Amino acid sequence: MAAPTTSKPDDAFSLHSISQDSAIQLGEDPSLHAGAFFAPAEPHLPPDLAQDAHDHGAEQQEQPPQDDPFDDAEDSGFDSGSLLGDETDTLASSIMHYRMENGRQYHAYRDGAYWGPNDELAKEILDFAHHMYLLTLDHKLHVAPIRSPQTILDVGTGTGIWAIDMADQYPSATVIGTDLSPIQPEWVPPNCHFEIDDVSLDWTFPLDHFDFIHIRELFGCIPDWDFFFEQAYAHCKPGGWIEIVEHSVEPICDDGSMGPDHFFHLWGKTVVDMGNIFGKSFTIWAESKARMEKAGFVDVVEVTYKWPMNGWSEDRKLKNIGRWNQLRLHEGIEGFMLRLLTQAGGWSVPRAQVFLAEMRKALREYKTHAYLPGTVVYGRKPLRS
């Protein structure tokens, strides 16, 4: 494969030692085929959630929110079995030998490069977010005006659910998803493939290759966003599109119902500070358009959206999204922050758990009309003259 012309940045602060870089392909068997995508069970989320202290990894079985159209999707089986070829057994063993910290499971490849766990609860939370993005974008997988794409890259694919859906929507396209964790399902559409890779380093794909590059929720994952977008530009086809979907980690309010001493202010500042210590910013949602234009993309468009912190909104759509966000944050807050607080911040586990309990308590305050702002930014690589 052709190598990009730019050089990789120095590694940022890592929570653990970093291993040698290498891209590993998953799901190479063309006979594999998936049915419907995984969609989480639809939970009913009353205004008062349960306990402040979170029971690690407890699976919730709730009733679906009313008026939510995603109540009949089937599950795809997630299998962490043998996804790699025999020639990479040694590396595969290392990748699959996950790190355990404070009762949570984390990736092994480039250990410490990512703050989130990859256990079953974490995967469920990722799929909650996928569902929320579908609700936010009116059930669209993208807003960039792509037409008949043949090569699609999903950067930081997570459980692979977006890549699988795109492979179903565009059966003539080859869809590749990359991630640090091999947590994607084994049974996928034949035109969908997954690779283990760290896209904060030099990309190993061919130059001018992808018709569409999709990025979502890579906040806190990239040490040098300008370098990242340079790589995306180099590997995007002339005339191809890139889209990045991100949201803020700092709740804001438009009607004055979130006072200056509200916990949400401390929460947002703490997340941003932890990201700065970690060396990977959580503010990309507000920077994407400028950085994309700096990399050379044209026709760049920014679309904004809001995610209420709970179901306070009187708007039907926002109320539904807010209830999902409340669930996602209440159940996922430990995975979002425990490693950052204890490793990057040096907090004790008890101190971190008290802080997380305060966040769960704040999420139940429907009188506070707070939300997370977000952006969808897309742009095109210009055609060569």
The pLDDT tens digits of the residues spanning 2-40 come to: 434 444 444 444 444 333 333 334 433 333 333 232 333
- Give the separation between CA 26 and CA 383, rounded to whole angstroms: 32
Position 97 scores a pLDDT of 61
In a domain, 255, yes or no: yes
Burial of 96 (0-12, 13-18, 19+ CB in 10 A): middle
Q: Are 333 and 360 in contact (CB under 8 A)?
A: yes
- Give the separation between CA 251 and CA 285, rounded to whole angstroms: 13
The distance of Cα 44 from the centroid of its chain, to the nearest Å, equals 23
Residue 107 pLDDT class (50, 70, 90 cuts): low
Give the CA distances from residue 247 to residues 214, 294, 295, in Å, rounded to whole numbers and listed in that order. 15, 20, 21
Mean pLDDT of 222-246: 96
Q: Are 315 and 329 in contact (CB under 8 A)?
A: no
In a domain, 12, yes or no: no
Instruction: Report DSSP state, residue 109.
Output: T
The domain of 324 spans 24-380
Q: Provide the β-strand partners of residue 99.
A: 106
- Give the separation between CA 355 and CA 368, rounded to whole angstroms: 19
The DSSP secondary structure of 253-305, one letter per residue, reads ESSS-S-TT-HHHHHHHHHHHHHHHHT--S-GGGTHHHHHHHHT-EEEEEEEE
β-strand pairing of 192-196 with 24-26: antiparallel
Position 334 scores a pLDDT of 85
% of the chain surpassing 90 pLDDT = 54
In a domain, 375, yes or no: yes
The residue among 185, 172, 158 whose CA lies nearest residue 212 is: 172
- Strand, helix or coil for residue 340: helix
Mean pLDDT of 132-146: 97
Report which residue type is found at 383: L
Least confident of 61-70, 281-290, 309-318: 61-70
- Residue 362 vs residue 19, higher pLDDT: 362
Position 68 scores a pLDDT of 43
Residue 106 has pLDDT above 60, yes or no: yes
- Residue 382 vs residue 127, higher pLDDT: 382
| pTM metric for this prediction | 0.74
In a domain, 244, yes or no: yes
State the DSSP H helix or E strand holding residue 16, giving kind and residue range, or none if neither: none
Residue 208 has pLDDT above 70, yes or no: yes
β-strand pairing of 151-155 with 174-179: parallel
Residue 87 has pLDDT above 50, yes or no: no
Least confident of 112-121, 145-154, 331-340, 355-364: 112-121
Residue 57 pLDDT class (50, 70, 90 cuts): very low
Residue 150 has pLDDT above 50, yes or no: yes
In a domain, 11, yes or no: no
Residue 126 pLDDT class (50, 70, 90 cuts): confident
Residue 385 pLDDT class (50, 70, 90 cuts): very low
Q: Domain tally for the chain?
A: 1
Residue 48 has pLDDT above 60, yes or no: no
Burial of 314 (0-12, 13-18, 19+ CB in 10 A): exposed
* CA end-to-end span of the chain: 25
- Strand, helix or coil for residue 317: helix
Please, where are the H alpha helices in 148-236? Answer: 161-169, 225-235
In a domain, 306, yes or no: yes
In a domain, 17, yes or no: no
CATH of the domain at 336: 3.40.50.150
Residue 138 has pLDDT above 60, yes or no: yes
Residue 348 pLDDT class (50, 70, 90 cuts): very high
In a domain, 2, yes or no: no
Q: Provide the β-strand partners of residue 288.
A: none
| Cβ-Cβ contacts under 8 Å for 323 (sequence gap 6 or more) | 45, 65, 310, 311
